[in-house]
Amino acid sequence: MKKVYISRMIDEDAVKLLREKFHVDVNEEDRELTREELLDIAPKYDAILTMLSNKIDKEVIDLAKNVKIFADYSVGFNNFDVAYAKEKGIYLTNTPDVLTNATADLAFSLLLGVARRVVESDDYVRMGLFKEWKPKLLLGKELFGKTLGIVGFGRIGQAVAERAKGFGLKVIYYNRSRKSEVEELYSAKYVSFENLLEESDFISIHTPLSDETYHLFGKEQFDMMKDDAVLVNTSRGPVIDEEALIETLQSARLFGVGLDVYENEPVVPKSLIGMKNVVTLPHIGSATEEARRAMAFIAVNNIIQALDGEVPNNLVYDIS
């Protein structure tokens, strides 16, 4: 019987599907696998369901002699050494589409949360400071009529553009390749990255992490942004040079920042936590009941396909 390892407890109904066909072991502890545990598990299984925090690099792949597939429980797959796994004939899959709405909703929550100082206002009440209505208490920014710059115009970027319509935002976007076919649908204008930085009142990042996008936002880019811009990141932390962001905020530039992801997760720099105009979330982009259940079924289905000798639906590389 083929053996499957699930690196973290996910939806039980999805796991049940695997148990009908294979021997399944699950990391029952409510914690991430250590590197040592991952290295120990790699040689013993035919398929491994991985989390975005499990680094599947050359060392793991070389040990994974029987592994047919690493099925990530996430859409971003920067934890995989894609080229090496492909060379070794190992399938790598992700869970696209089903978390698009959840992540776009969260990006919008951050945009509104930062613009209207929601977290800061909540703290204000909890601290017992709300004694009277004041004309200038916790003034924020309106979205209506402003420009939203979307960096990365894939599924999630486009879902953010869809939401932007309802808020009366003008949408501009930057993407590695222009997406002319959807511009009319989202009333979105393609601009250069530099123009997007200069023109946007709000910026939402939705680009995958790659060598090309590592530190895409650094000092030079922050300097090009409007002094009172709002920046939101729900993609991957290393797309932003965190040190440069902290320096920018310390020099009283930018209206505020909303972060769901960080350069060295789960480490969140103390200086960011200490800033009132920064909202910090614990990487919950896809954390809805609907998305997480669907992600579990997609990952499990990819494993079933791979172990049944089929090419899984959500392969992250091209096999042609």
User: Rounded to the nearest 10 degrees, how much is the dihedral formed by the CA atoms of 221, 227, 228, 233?
Assistant: 20
Q: Does 106 bind ligand DGY (CB under 6 A)?
A: no
Q: What one-character-per-residue DSSP string does 248-287 give?
A: HHHTT-SSEEEES--TBTTB--HHHHT-TTEEE--S-TT-
Q: How far apart are CA 41 and CA 38, in angstroms?
A: 5
Q: Does 96 bind ligand DGY (CB under 6 A)?
A: no
Distance between alpha carbon 16 and the CA centroid of its chain, in Å? 27
Query: How many other C-beta atoms are found inside a 10 Å radius of the C-beta of residue 274?
Result: 8
Q: Does 285 bind ligand DGY (CB under 6 A)?
A: yes
SS3 assignment, position 189: strand
Q: Contacts with ligand DGY in 192-231 (CB under 6 A)?
A: none
Q: Which of 14, 52, 61, 257 binds ligand DGY (CB under 6 A)?
A: 52
Q: Which of 10, 47, 71, 75 binds ligand DGY (CB under 6 A)?
A: 75
Residue number with CB closer to ligand DGY (54 or 286):
286
Distance between alpha carbon 100 and the CA centroid of its chain, in Å? 10
Q: Does 286 bind ligand DGY (CB under 6 A)?
A: yes
Q: Does 76 bind ligand DGY (CB under 6 A)?
A: yes
Residue range at the interface with ligand DGY (CB under 6 A); choices 80-88, 188-196, 216-224, 281-289: 281-289
In the 8-state DSSP scheme, what is residue 130? Answer: -
Residue number with CB closer to ligand DGY (52 or 240):
52
Who's near 177: CB < 8 A, 6+ residues apart? none
Count of CA atoms in the C-beta half-sphere (13 A) of 179 = 22
Residue range at the interface with ligand DGY (CB under 6 A); choices 26-34, 115-123, 237-245, 279-287: 279-287
Q: Which residues carry out catalysis? A: 236, 265, 283
Q: Does 258 bind ligand DGY (CB under 6 A)?
A: no
Residue number with CB closer to ligand DGY (52 or 69):
52
Q: How far is the CB of 164 from ligand DGY (least distance, A)?
A: 21
- What would you report as the CA-atom Rg of the chain, rounded to the nearest whole angstrom? 21
Q: Indicate the residue type of 245.
A: L
Three-state DSSP string of 38-75: HHHHHHHCCEEEECCCCCECHHHHHHCCCCCEEEECCC
Q: What one-character-per-residue DSSP string does 200-240 give?
A: -SEEEE-PPP-TTTTT-B-HHHHHHS-TT-EEEE-S-GGGB
Q: Does 238 bind ligand DGY (CB under 6 A)?
A: no
Q: Does 74 bind ligand DGY (CB under 6 A)?
A: yes
Q: Which of 99, 245, 294, 299 binds ligand DGY (CB under 6 A)?
A: 99
Residue number with CB closer to ligand DGY (52 or 143):
52
Residue number with CB closer to ligand DGY (75 or 279):
75
Site string for ligand DGY, 148-187 (x = CB under 6 A): ----------------------------------------
Residue number with CB closer to ligand DGY (8 or 283):
283
Q: How far is the CB of 283 from ligand DGY (least distance, A)?
A: 6
Which residues are at the interface with ligand DGY (CB under 6 A)? 52, 74-76, 99, 283, 285-286
